[in-house]
Structures are given as structure tokens and as C-alpha cells.
Structure 1
Amino acid sequence: MTSISLPPQAVGSAFSLDKMIVARDKTMAAVRRIAAQIRPGMTEQQAKDLAKAELESMGMDRIWHGIIVRFGRSTLKIFKQQIDPDNVLLDDDIFFIDLGIVWDGHEGDAGDTFVTGDNARKRACAEAARQLWQEVADKWRRERLAGPALYQYAAERAEAMGWRLNLDIKGHRVSDFPHSIYKAGSLGDFAQCPDTGLWILEIQIADPSGEFGAFYEDLLVSES
């Protein structure tokens, strides 16, 4: 059988940019609804189970990548590393949630970081991940940069802000489900300007102390 090579920014016949944005919005809403229910004393496994129940109650089509919840030092882990099911969230802690969910045949992918206490450095780290994501997205909108240039800019800005960017996390394709047939690779290695509504920009930073980090991801769309 002959293998057909599809362009890295191809989409399926059912693709709709409007549906991609709805999927993004629903996934981010789910992240925040789940975060509001996570409490100190929970384990990562309990939080993952809570997340799955919440997504089912919201009427998702399916999960397209595993639910990720990271507490404390585990916020330094990258996507491919397993959760620590017995890791407990502390009273003065940091955590993030990363969800990949299909809604109406389209892939949502969103992640954000939250803090349980009043630790100023942890709160600053969570906010810095969001700020850095916004700065990189704005750079893409203004200058139409390719993936490597976007992540070079992200690394430079992270250092200037006092954080370390984890360049093992470089973003990826999304589309009408399943995007994996397009074999597009990482956004950070993609040598063209990413089209609107097809790529997730991922930002993962670490505190220079090496004790914790923060994560934020969202869909790149031309209008903010």
C-alpha cells in the first residue's frame, strides 16, 4: 500500500476554525473548573480522577491525550513523564493542569498553573508563564515568525524575566481529530510560520532554584 504524505499544515474535510476556537475555549474552561476543585491534601491521582469526572460531566467527545496534573516539584516534569500518583499537594504549593480534549470532532489543548498559598515566588512563576506565552504569541502575530525563531525569542525573554525556559517542550499541531496523521512535528522545529488555529504554543519555565516550575499553553490564533 502506498503511503500518502500530507502537508504539515493540512486539515481534514470536517475542519472548522470556529470549532477549533470553541474547543480551545471549552478546554481552558475545563482547566479552570478542575483547578477550582483541587485542594491541598489531594494526590495527583485523585486530581486526575476528579478531572476525568468533570470532563465527562461537560460532555466531551473523548480525551485525545492523557490528563496531566503536576504538584510541587513535579511541575518540572515534561509531558512524556508519568504523573506521580501518590504525590500530595501541600498547603503552600504550585500545580498545573494540561488537558487535550476533543469537542465536536475538534481538538482542544490547554494548560495553566495555579498556586494554593501565598508564596510570592510561586505566584510570580505562574504569572510569568502566562505573560511569556502572551509575549510570544504577540510576536508571532506581529512578525509572522517560524517556530525556531519563536522559541528562541521565548528563551531570551524567559532569561530576561529571571526564569529558565524548558526547550524540551516546543508546542505541536492540533486540528480536527486526529491531528497525528499530519506528522507535523514540534512547533519549535517547524521552519514555516504556523497558520492560525493549527498549533499549540507551549511555555514551560522553571525557577532557577530548580524547586518548581510553571506551564501555560494555548492555541495560536491571529486575533488575541
Structure 2
Amino acid sequence: MTAINKEAVGLAYSLQGMLHAKRKTWEAITQIAARIQPGMLESQARTLGLEVFAELGMDRIWHPALVRFGENTLKTFKQRSEGDPVLGDNDIFFIDLGVVWDRHEGDCGATFVTGNDPEMQACAAAAQTLFERVRDHWSEHKVAGPALYRYAEEQASAMGWVLNLEIKGHRVSDFPHAIYRAGDLGNFEACPNVGLWILEIQIAHPTRPFGAFYEDLLV
């Protein structure tokens, strides 16, 4: 499939629609994160997410809402959580949402910390910082997907974190993007265009059993 075909969109697509979906997804993340408290089960947090979606008027979810607590922050999207952990007073968690708003796919994720563990706080902050560095590199240098993730790996290492290269971003569009079967952003052999790709960053602490996640639309 050519790069042009991998960036195909449907009749409903608009950049404004994608930006709206991005805003609404971040609104959902903010509301869910504010309601997650120590003592809550991971499964309860996922249920809470569905309640927030309904309150905000989603069309539907296009991928299951993920909330990962503690050591489960090292799990990739396709891996199941270990058990149903309780969020601790000094703990780390991330939220990963894929929601359709007005026929457009939002996909955003971020990491949060309870308590004051300085390494957990640094890890959560580093995931967002690394995302921003990689996004800016894409914007300034117009690199293709493989070079983008090589840069991400180099930067993560320089920052003292381990980048998980099992996740390398993906397409979004007007729903459903899956009909284009475009593959991972990290394997896309052209410079990704604005408003079509999700940049995913997942890092791990080099010695302790937790990590952090951040993703958003490349615009």
C-alpha cells in the first residue's frame, strides 16, 4: 500500500473534526484522572471512564478504555493487566482513551501520580517531555516514521529512561480508520501528515517496576 493510500480518509473527515475529538478526549482524561483516588481498583477506574464518556456525549468508543495502575504501567495496549490492583497512596497510573466524537477518532493518553514519590513524578513528566521533543522533531525536520522513533529512542536513553518500541503509534481518521490498515507510525516510510497519526510514547524506569505513557495527535 502506498503512503497516499495509508493516509486515506473518509467523506466525513476534517482537520477541525480531529481537533475537536482531541479536545474532547483530553477533557475526558482530565475528568477521569480527577476522580481516580487511592484505594480504587483498576477495574473501578475503567468503569468510571465509561461514565465520563456518557456524560460528555461520546458517539462510541473505538478502542477499550485503558487505565493501568502501578506495575501495570509497563504493559502495552495488547497485554492484559496483572490482576486488579488497588491504587496506592504513593503510586502511578496512566489513562489511554480511544473515543469517537462527532464521527472523528480521538486517541490521547497521559500519566498521573498519587503522593510524592519523586521518581514516579519524574517518570510521568518525562513521558510528556519526550513526546513534545519527538513531536517538535517531526514538525521541524519532516522525518519519516522510522527516523522519528529512532530519535525517540535516543532521546529517551539520554534522559535516563527506556523506550518501549513495541508501540510505535498508528493512524486515526473519521471512524473507522481501520479500513485503511496503515500499520504503525514507526514503520511509515514517509513524513506523517498533520491530523492523521497518533504519536505514542511509553517509557520504563531503568530499575524500578513502573513506567509512564503519553500519546496525542500529531498536529
Measure, in 2, the Cα distance between the counterparts of 1:85 and 1:48: 14
Partner-residue secondary structure (3-state), 1:118: coil
Structure 2 residues not aligned, in runs of 5+:
none
Question: Which TM-score applies when normalising by structure 2?
Answer: 0.97
Contact kept, 8 Å, 1:44 with 1:83, in 2: the verdict is no
Matched with 2:134 is 136
Matched with 1:191 is 189
Measure, in 1, the Cα distance between the counterparts of 2:90 and 2:187: 37
By how many angstroms is 1:35 displaced?
0.4
Greater fraction of residues in helix: 2
Aligned residues: 216
Measure, in 1, the Cα distance between the counterparts of 2:190 and 2:86: 42
By how many angstroms is 1:83 displaced?
3.2
Measure, in 1, the Cα distance between the counterparts of 2:76 and 2:10: 29
By how many angstroms is 1:27 displaced?
0.3
User: Against the structure 1 CA distance between its residues 122 and 160, is the aligned structure 2 distance closer, same or farther, given a 3 Å change threshold?
Assistant: same
Partner-residue secondary structure (3-state), 2:26: helix
2:80 corresponds, among 71, 79, 82, to 82
Q: Give the % identical residues.
A: 61
Partner-residue secondary structure (3-state), 1:7: helix
Matched with 1:152 is 150
Which shifted more, 156-165 or 203-212? 203-212
Provide, for residues 43-83 of structure 1, a one-character-per-residue CA deviation record: whole Å limited to 9, x for no partner: 11100001100111110000000010000000000000123
Paired residue type of 1:135: R
Measure, in 2, the Cα distance between the counterparts of 1:120 and 1:153: 26
Contact kept, 8 Å, 1:24 with 1:110, in 2: the verdict is yes
Measure, in 2, the Cα distance between the counterparts of 1:213 and 1:85: 17
1:46 corresponds, among 41, 44, 47, to 44
Matched with 1:115 is 113
Contact kept, 8 Å, 1:43 with 1:85, in 2: the verdict is no
Measure, in 2, the Cα distance between the counterparts of 1:205 and 1:141: 22
Q: Are residue 214 (structure 1) and residue 212 (structure 2) matched?
A: yes
By how many angstroms is 1:84 displaced?
4.3
Measure, in 2, the Cα distance between the counterparts of 1:181 and 1:29: 27
Question: Which TM-score applies when normalising by structure 1?
Answer: 0.95
Structure 1 residues not aligned, in runs of 5+:
1-5
User: Against the structure 1 CA distance between its residues 43 and 85, is the aligned structure 2 distance closer, same or farther, given a 3 Å change threshold?
Assistant: farther
Measure, in 2, the Cα distance between the counterparts of 1:86 and 1:138: 37
Measure, in 2, the Cα distance between the counterparts of 1:200 and 1:97: 15
Runs of 4 or more consecutive aligned structure 1 residues displaced over 6 Å after TM superposition = none
Matched with 1:99 is 97
Partner-residue secondary structure (3-state), 2:35: coil
Matched with 2:71 is 73
Give the RMSD, CA atoms, in angstroms: 0.9
Matched with 1:21 is 19
Partner-residue secondary structure (3-state), 2:6: coil
